[in-house]
């Protein structure tokens, strides 16, 4: 069954026709490959050109850049197109791009655009299992570190990075309790809103009782945030033997692709895997399931989300 073509308005259709004529000209002068290969490549490139006309208003194929390819990859993965199929489409685009006169940009390889090189070297499952999480929350109060338990709870339940949890102030927490979503400022100043769990909401209510309006929840007056981050990491390293699965080494020896030791960031991985599994249970296809997780994590690149959902 043929996939539905990208719909264009009248103006976009005119731009697409201009690009299509350029592709036809390249195809006529091309002597490489069999007739079937050339025909298939031209069809794939014309599909890409429809996307360019709709999303970027590109009118000259020689001007395409990695930005356009990355946008196309994201669009197609959101539709559930496999990386194997995308790799073929990107090859066709590069093939035609190599034959146009005076291209403006050098295009990345298919593997780099799809994140395959990074994925190949990052196949470990870094997520904490539920037993490790439960044990950790028993360890924290034993050593007088309720703050560590609270920070870990947000990382696990809402998928936050450690610096994102420590950035939260009372105002942000109050709004989260009213709206049911916590507003997070992540890497590069990118803002996202994440649904907040009942467990985390109850925890925030308790923490807020001892925090003045405008103050941060987990960084006390006079403390440096980067030092608190280090304290959290050190706490995990120092007490890992008390909560980490004692069978982890045996499981790795048996062939499971697990990270040797859990780290704070593994809590975010556990969150990502849960959200991914929930999406799949709702019969959302693989590409869209990763897109759901990507938005919650504050990422735009599919290859990064794939690393988080490795299990």
Helix (H) or strand (E) holding 255: none
Phi-psi category of 114—alpha, beta or left, where left has phi over 0 and alpha has psi -120 to 50? alpha
d(CA 308, CA 58): 34
Q: How many CB atoms lie within 10 A of CB 159?
A: 24
Computed on alpha carbons and rounded to an integer, the radius of gyration of the chain in Å comes to 24
246-259 pLDDT per residue, tens: 888 887 887 778 88
The pLDDT score that the predictor gives to residue 189 is 82
- Percent helix, strand, coil in the chain (nearest 5)? 65, 5, 30
Helix ranges restricted to H, 56-128: 66-78, 83-97, 110-114, 116-121
pLDDT digits (tens, 9 = 90+) for 205-214: 999 999 998 8
**Model pLDDT, residue 29:** 81
Q: Mark residue 253 as left, alpha or beta (left: phi above 0; alpha: psi -120 to 50; beta: remaining).
A: alpha
**Kind and range of the H or E run holding 195:** strand 191-195
Q: Report the Cα–Cα distance between both ends of the chain, in Å, rounded.
A: 32
Residue 86's pLDDT is 86
Q: Which fold has domain 130-308?
A: hpI Integrase; Chain A (1.10.443)
Q: How far is CA 141 from CA 16, 148, 245, in A?
A: 63, 9, 19
Question: What residue segments make up the domains of the chain, in order of their start?
Answer: 10-114, 130-308
Vertex 100 angle, CA 94 and 101, to 5°: 140
Per-residue pLDDT in tens (0 to 9) along the chain, 311 residues: 334 578 889 999 999 999 999 999 888 887 765 676 778 888 999 999 999 999 998 889 999 999 999 999 988 888 888 777 888 888 889 888 888 888 888 888 776 777 643 333 346 889 998 889 999 999 999 999 999 999 999 999 999 999 999 999 999 999 999 999 999 988 878 899 999 999 999 999 999 999 998 899 999 999 999 999 999 999 999 999 999 988 888 878 877 788 899 999 999 999 998 898 888 888 888 888 888 888 898 876 655 566 666 65
């Amino acid at each position: 069954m043929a996939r539905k073509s990208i719909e264009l308005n009248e103006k976009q259709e005119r731009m697409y026709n201009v690009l299509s004529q350029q592709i036809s000209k390249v195809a006529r002068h091309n002597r490489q490959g069999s007739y079937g290969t050339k025909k298939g490549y031209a069809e794939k490139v014309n599909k890409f050109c429809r996307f360019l006309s709709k999303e970027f208003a590109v009118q000259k194929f020689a001007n395409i850049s990695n930005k356009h390819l990355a946008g196309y990859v994201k669009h197609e993965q959101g539709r559930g197109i496999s990386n194997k199929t995308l790799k073929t489409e990107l090859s066709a685009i590069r093939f035609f791009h190599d034959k146009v006169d005076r291209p403006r940009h050098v295009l990345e390889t298919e593997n780099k655009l799809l994140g395959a090189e990074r994925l190949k070297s990052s196949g470990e499952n870094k997520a904490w299992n539920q037993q490790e999480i439960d044990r950790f929350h028993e360890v924290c109060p034993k050593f007088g570190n309720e703050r560590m338990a609270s920070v870990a709870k947000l990382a696990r339940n809402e998928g936050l990075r450690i610096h994102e949890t420590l950035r939260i102030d009372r105002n942000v927490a109050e709004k989260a309790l009213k709206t049911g979503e916590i507003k997070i400022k992540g890497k590069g100043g990118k803002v996202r809103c994440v649904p907040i769990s009942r467990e985390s909401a109850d925890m925030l209510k308790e923490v807020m009782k001892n925090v003045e309006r405008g103050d941060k929840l987990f960084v006390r007056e006079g403390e440096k945030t980067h030092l608190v981050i280090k304290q959290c990491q050190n706490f995990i390293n120092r007490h890992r033997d008390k909560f980490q699965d004692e069978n982890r080494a045996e499981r790795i020896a048996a062939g499971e692709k697990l990270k040797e030791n859990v780290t704070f960031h593994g809590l975010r991985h556990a969150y990502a895997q849960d959200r991914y599994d929930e999406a799949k249970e709702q019969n959302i296809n693989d590409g869209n399931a990763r897109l759901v997780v990507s938005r919650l994590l504050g990422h735009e690149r599919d290859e990064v989300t794939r690393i988080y959902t490795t299990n």
